[in-house]
């Protein structure tokens, strides 16, 4: 596998680790009181509500919203499908296979990266 691909796969872990180290050295953004924790939770709730409101755009048909919502999963499955087909076909162009493999690694990171980061952060 390409070293650049491996590096990009570990960028979220590296940035999270650096952020935690800097947070510990500087006292961190962790809430110190119950009021600060409540304010942080309220801000997170407002952020989630704003993100949900983006999906309910007035004046846009439901099929357009559904198509927009399905774009990432369909693109990811398409990339992984092309990669799987190229692996099976004998004599595939090595250059094209490498590009599609890099795209497949990015798609896999999209699918599993956030969940992996949750497990890593939970294990601290």
Per-residue pLDDT reduced to its tens digit, 7-53: 777 777 788 788 878 877 877 666 778 888 899 889 989 998 988 88
pLDDT tier for residue 72 given thresholds of 50, 70 and 90: confident
Nearest CA-CA partner of 2 in 80, 97, 114: 97
- Global pTM reads 0.55
In the predicted model, is pLDDT for residue 1 greater than 70?
Answer: no
The alpha carbon of 77 is separated from its chain's Cα centroid by a whole number of angstroms, namely 15
Q: Are 98 and 2 in contact (CB under 8 A)?
A: yes
Higher-confidence position of 83 and 32:
83
Higher-confidence position of 14 and 57:
14
Measure the CA–CA gap between 43 and 46, rounded to whole angstroms. Answer: 5
Nearest CA-CA partner of 86 in 70, 102, 107, 74: 102
pLDDT recorded at residue 123: 64
What would the mean pLDDT of 80-92 be, rounded to a whole number?
88
Measure the CA–CA gap between 73 and 18, rounded to whole angstroms. Answer: 30
Nearest CA-CA partner of 101 in 113, 85, 114, 112: 85
Q: Mean pLDDT across the chain, nearest whole number?
A: 81
């Amino acid at each position: 596998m390409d070293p650049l691909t491996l590096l990009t796969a570990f960028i979220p872990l590296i940035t999270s680790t650096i952020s935690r180290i800097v947070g510990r050295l500087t006292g961190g953004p962790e809430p110190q009181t119950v009021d600060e924790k409540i304010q942080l939770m309220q801000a997170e709730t407002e952020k989630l509500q704003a993100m949900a409101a983006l999906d309910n755009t007035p004046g846009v048909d439901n099929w357009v919203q559904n198509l927009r919502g399905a774009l990432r999963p369909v693109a990811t499955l398409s990339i992984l499908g092309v990669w799987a087909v190229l692996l099976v076909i004998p004599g595939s162009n090595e250059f094209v296979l490498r590009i599609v493999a890099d795209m497949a690694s990015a798609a896999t990171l999209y699918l599993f990266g956030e969940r992996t980061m949750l497990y890593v952060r939970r294990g601290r």
